[in-house]
Amino acid sequence: METIRVAVDVGGTFTDICILDETTGQIRIEKTASTADPIDGILTGVAQAGIDLTKVALFSHGTTVATNALITRRLPVTAMVCTEGFRDVIEIRRGNKQELWDTYKDVVRPYVPRRHRLTVKERVGADGTVVEPLDEAGAREVARILAKRGVAAVAVCFMNAYVNGANEKRMKEILQEALPGVPVSTSSEVLPEIFEHERFSTTVANAALSPIVVSYVNRLGDRLKEEGYKRDLLLLHTGGGVMTPASVKDYAARLAGSGIAAGAIASRHIAMLCGFRNSIGLDMGGTSTDVSLAYDGQSRTTKDWYVEYGYPIRFPAIEVLTIGAGGGSLAWRDEAGSLRNGPQSAGARPGPACYGAGGTQATNTDANVLLGRLGTSLAGGKVMLDAGLARQAVEDTVAKSFGIEAHAAADSILRVANANMSDAVRLISIARGFDPRDFALVAFGGAGALHGVHVARDLAIPVVIVPPNPGVTSALGCLLVDIQHDYSESFLRAASDVTAEELEAAFARLEEEAAARLHHEGVAAENIVLQRTVDMMYQGQWRSLAVSAPSPVTDISALVAQFHREHQREYNFRRDGAPVGLFRINLTAIGVVPKAELASHAPTGKTPAPIGRREVWFEPDAPTDTPIYDRWDLPAGFRFEGPAVLEQVDSTVLVPPGASAEVDPRLNLIIRVEG
- Residue pLDDT, tens place only, 281-330: 999 988 888 999 999 998 888 888 888 899 999 988 889 888 888 888 99
pLDDT of residue 12: 62
pLDDT for residue 433 is more than 90: no
Stretch 174-180: mean pLDDT: 96
pLDDT for residue 117 is more than 70: yes
The Cα-based distances of 23 to 3, 9, 20, 595 in angstroms read 7, 23, 9, 11
The Cα-based distances of 241 to 18, 61, 261, 316, 389 in angstroms read 17, 11, 9, 11, 44
**Which bin fits 285, alpha (ψ -120 to 50), beta or left (φ > 0)?**
beta
173 phi/psi in degrees, rounded to 5: -60, -40
Stretch 486-502: mean pLDDT: 91
C-alpha span between 130 and 426 (Å, rounded): 48
pLDDT for residue 170 is more than 90: yes
Q: How confident is the model at residue 217 (pLDDT cuts 50, 70, 90)?
A: very high
- For the ranges 8-12, 245-249, 455-459, 492-496, which has the lowest average pLDDT? 8-12
pLDDT, one tens digit per residue, over 447-493 is 999 999 999 999 999 999 999 989 888 888 888 788 888 888 889 89
pLDDT for residue 596 is more than 70: no
Helices (H), 112-195: 136-149, 166-178, 187-190
| HEC assignment per residue over 520-570 | HCCCCHHHEEEEEEEEEEEECECCCEEEEECCCCCCHHHHHHHHHHHHHHH
Task: Decide: helix, strand or coil at residue 38.
Answer: helix
Model pTM score: 0.82
Contact yes or no for 288/324 (Cβ under 8 A): yes
- In this predicted model, which residue has the larger pLDDT, 645 or 540? 645
pLDDT of residue 398: 95
- In this predicted model, which residue has the larger pLDDT, 468 or 36? 468
pLDDT of residue 406: 95
pLDDT of residue 461: 97
Stretch 89-113: mean pLDDT: 89
- CA nearest neighbour of 183 among 228, 153, 163: 153
How would you class 131 by CB atoms within 10 Å of its CB: exposed for 0-12, middle for 13-18, buried for 19 or more? exposed
pLDDT of residue 1: 64
Compute the Cα dihedral for 559, 563, 564, 568 and give only its sign. Answer: positive
pLDDT of residue 301: 84
Helices (H), 14-135: 38-48, 65-72, 89-92
pLDDT for residue 354 is more than 90: yes
Contact yes or no for 344/286 (Cβ under 8 A): no
Structural domains in the chain, sorted by start: 4-69+214-255 (3.30.420.40), 73-205 (3.40.50), 331-416 (no CATH), 483-591 (3.30.1490)
C-alpha span between 23 and 509 (Å, rounded): 41
pLDDT, one tens digit per residue, over 566-580 is 999 888 899 999 999
Element (H or E) spanning 505, and its range? helix 500-520
Q: What is the mean pLDDT of the chain?
A: 91
pLDDT of residue 380: 67
548-552-554 Cα angle (round to 5): 90
Helices (H), 361-405: 364-370, 387-394, 400-402
pLDDT of residue 379: 63
Contact yes or no for 164/139 (Cβ under 8 A): no
Percent of the chain's residues with pLDDT above 70? 98
Percent of the chain's residues with pLDDT above 90? 62
pLDDT of residue 400: 94
C-alpha span between 160 and 294 (Å, rounded): 35
Contact yes or no for 237/258 (Cβ under 8 A): yes
- For the ranges 149-163, 414-428, 489-503, 589-603, which has the lowest average pLDDT? 589-603
- For the ranges 1-5, 222-226, 492-496, 588-592, which has the lowest average pLDDT? 1-5
pLDDT for residue 510 is more than 90: yes
Q: How confident is the model at residue 242 (pLDDT cuts 50, 70, 90)?
A: confident
pLDDT for residue 34 is more than 80: no
